[in-house]
Amino acid sequence: MSSALLSSRTETVPPAGAATAVRLESVERRFAVAEGQRQVLRGLDVDLGAGEIVAVVGPSGCGKSTLLRLVAGLDTPTGGIIAIDGTGVTDTDERTAVAFQEPRLLPWRTLAQNVALGLPRRLRGRARTERVSELLRLVGLEHAANQRPREVSGGMAQRASLARALARNPSVLLLDEPFGALDALTRLRMQDLLLDIHAAEPTTILLVTHDVEEALYLADRVLLLRSLTVDPDPDAASIARTIAVPGIRPRDRADRGLAALRAELLEGLGVDTHHSATDHSTDLETR
C-alpha cells in the first residue's frame, strides 16, 4: 500500500515533510489558582529523534495532555525550552499537527471536506483535490469521501481525523489519546493503521495514551510521567522512567518480553501486578 501511494504523487503535491527532532529542556508549567500557583510539570528533559515514535503514559491528571499542548504551541511553558529541529516553539507551527481523542469533525461537511481543512493554504486546484484523495486512500476512506460524520462509524470518523492531521505533511504528529473512545477491536485496527501511515509518510510521533499495551505496541520508547515528590508540589510531574521497547514494528502483541515491560510500567503507575506475576509463574511451571 505504501509504495503505491508514494509513487502516485504528482510534482504539484507537496512531498512528505521530513521528520524532525524535538527537544524539551527543563520544561515546566505552572497555572494560577486561587491559592497562588499550581505546578503541573517540572524539569522535563526529553529528546525525540527524527522519525521516532514516543509514547507518554501516566496517571490521569498528571499533565500528559498539557505536555502535548506545549509541544504543539497551543500553550506556553512557564520555564524551559521546547525546540523543533533546533527552532524554539513560540506559537502554533505548521510543522506540527494534532489529533485528539474526539475526531472533532465539522458535522455539516463531508469527510473529504473535513480532511481538506488541514491542507496548507498554498495548495490549490487539482493538487488540493489529489492530496485529499491520497489521504483518504491512505486511511481507507476513499469510498466514504462524500459522507458526513453522522453517517459513519466512530472508527471511520477517527480515521478522517488522522487524515486531516496528516494533510500538510507534518514533521511532528501529536496524538492525544486518539483511540481512547473506540471499542477494543477498532482500537487494535487503528493502531495497525497508524503504523501503516508512519511507514507510508514517516514523521516524528508523540503519543499520549492511558493504555500501557498500546504504548508498548506502537512506540520506540515509553515515557512514564508522574509525580516524583510529595513536597512541596505533590502534583508536579516529571519523567519518572524511560523504557526502550525492543523489536521491530509491527511487534507481536503476545510477546512475553512486552508482558514484562507492561508489568514494569504498571508498577510504575502504582498498579499491583502481583497476581498477574503469580499466574505467569504458574503457567510456566505447567508447560
DSSP states of 6-73 as a string?
Answer: HHT--TTSPPPPPP--EEEEEEEEEEEETTEEEEEEEEEEEEE-TT-EEEEE--TTSSHHHHHHHHHT
Give pLDDT, residue 14: 37
231 — pLDDT class (breaks 50, 70, 90): low
pLDDT greater than 50 at residue 15: no
The mean of the pLDDT values for the chain is 85
Q: What percent of the chain has pLDDT over 90?
A: 54
User: Does residue 274 sit in helix, strand or coil?
Assistant: helix
pLDDT in tens, 125-158: 888 999 999 999 989 999 999 999 999 999 999 9
**How many whole angstroms separate alpha carbon 241 and alpha carbon 171?**
26
pLDDT in tens, 162-218: 999 999 889 999 999 988 888 899 889 899 999 998 998 889 999 999 999 999 999
pLDDT greater than 90 at residue 9: no
Please report, to the nearest 10 degrees, the dihedral formed by the alpha carbons of residues 221, 250, 175, 37 taken in order: -20
What's the grid cell of residue 173?
504528529
pLDDT in tens, 232-253: 555 688 998 999 999 888 888 8
Give pLDDT, residue 4: 34
Q: Which residue has the cell 521491530?
A: 248
Give pLDDT, residue 131: 92
Give pLDDT, residue 161: 93
13 — pLDDT class (breaks 50, 70, 90): very low
275 — pLDDT class (breaks 50, 70, 90): low
Q: What percent of the chain has pLDDT over 70?
A: 86
CB atoms within 10 A of CB 111: 29
Between 253 and 272, whose confidence is greater? 253
pTM of the model: 0.84
pLDDT in tens, 41-69: 999 999 999 999 999 999 888 899 999 99
Please report, to the nearest 10 degrees, the dihedral formed by the alpha carbons of residues 131, 73, 201, 160 taken in order: -50
Give pLDDT, residue 94: 82
Q: Are strands 79-84 and 22-33 parallel, antiparallel or unpaired?
A: antiparallel
8 — pLDDT class (breaks 50, 70, 90): very low
Give pLDDT, residue 285: 43
Q: What domains lie within the chain, and their CATH numbers?
A: 2-253 (3.40.50.300)
